[in-house]
Amino acid sequence: MGSEAFIDTSGFYAMLVKKDEMHPKAGEILSEAARRRSQFVTSDYVIDETATLVKARGHLHLLPKFLDTVYRSEACRVEWMDPDRFEKTLSLFLKHIDHAWSFTDCFSFVLMKELRIREAVTKDSHFREAGFIPLLA
């Protein structure tokens, strides 16, 4: 893992939910990042998507600690959508309308390109399609 890795919804979910098949691998990635003092980056859109997924799958009890941990973390930085990033995301989304990429995926790709991040803690194969390295795939 490089000095920074992006964390996607499926990565957060794997870290949070012990029954997720990638929970052990996500734990290894966290341990290695702590050892190397690596940083994680995510977005407000991913936080929204993760909170919605965790709630929809009945893991409400995990939400308060998850949200508090992410926002107080020194190891994880949240990048926010702004008008310029929205335009870039919209452009990428429309350019690749034939792909199954979500708008949130496209925002993640825009951020990763902007921040020069190659790796993502995710199971989502869309990251590989977009030229990034999914660490849980």
The CA distance from 104 to 37, in Å, is: 27
> Strands, DSSP E only, in 16-105?
39-43, 76-79
Residues sharing a CB contact under 8 Å with residue 20, sequence separation 6 or more, in sequence order: 13, 14, 26
67-84 confidence digits (pLDDT tens): 999 999 989 999 999 999
7-46 confidence digits (pLDDT tens): 999 999 999 999 999 999 999 999 999 899 999 999 999 9
The CA distance from 17 to 26, in Å, is: 10
pLDDT higher than threshold 80 for residue 131 = yes
Tell me what pLDDT residue 34 has. 87
Tell me what pLDDT residue 2 has. 64
Asked if 46 and 8 touch (Cβ cutoff 8 Å), the reply is yes
Q: Which residues pair with 77 in a beta bridge?
A: 41
pLDDT higher than threshold 90 for residue 1 = no
What does the pLDDT average to over 111-120? 98
What does the pLDDT average to over 76-94? 98
* pTM, to two decimals: 0.94
What's the mean per-residue pLDDT of the chain?
Answer: 96
Tell me what pLDDT residue 104 has. 98
- Which domains does the chain possess? 4-80+116-134 (3.40.50.1010)
**How far does CA 26 lie from the centroid of its chain?**
12
pLDDT higher than threshold 80 for residue 50 = yes
The per-residue b/e assignment along 27-61, b for 16 or more CB within 10 angstroms, e otherwise, is eebbeebeeeebbbbbbebbbebbbebbeeeeeee
